[in-house]
Amino acid sequence: MPGSRVVRTLSWLVLSLFVLLLPLACKAHSKPAGDSSSGSNPAVENAELTRKMEEKAADIRSKEEEIRNMQGTDEEKAEAVKKLDAERQELIEMQDKGK
């Protein structure tokens, strides 16, 4: 049953990474409300950045679901997880940029 172990491990990895990103998405979502006193232009920029981060997070969630339901070899699944991790890293960088 080594194949099922790999699938289980990949599923656990995807789920755990998703859980780790949830607090970051919450921080990014609440940030623009605190910056409203700093002027309209930074608030607009923060709102735009937040919107982009929310879109990216939604895209990542949909790709996570696709990977969970993916039919393919373990190598294909591992490659899909690597690409998803790269997208998560981009999201984290966007969140850091917004701080």
Residue-wise pLDDT tens digits, 53-87? 899 999 999 999 998 898 988 899 889 999 999 99
pLDDT at 82: 93
Domain residue limits, the chain? 2-98
Q: 32 with 26: CB under 8 angstroms?
A: no
> Looking at per-residue confidence, does 27 or 41 come out higher?
41
Q: What b/e string do you get for 71-93 counting C-beta neighbours within 10 Å, with b at 16 or more?
A: eeeeeebbebbeebeeebeebee
Rounded to 5°, angle at Cα 99 from 89 and 25: 50
pLDDT at 97: 78
Torsion of CA 25, 10, 62, 86, to 10 degrees: 60
Using the predicted structure, report yes or no on whether residue 13 has a pLDDT greater than 50.
yes
pTM for the predicted model, two decimal places: 0.55
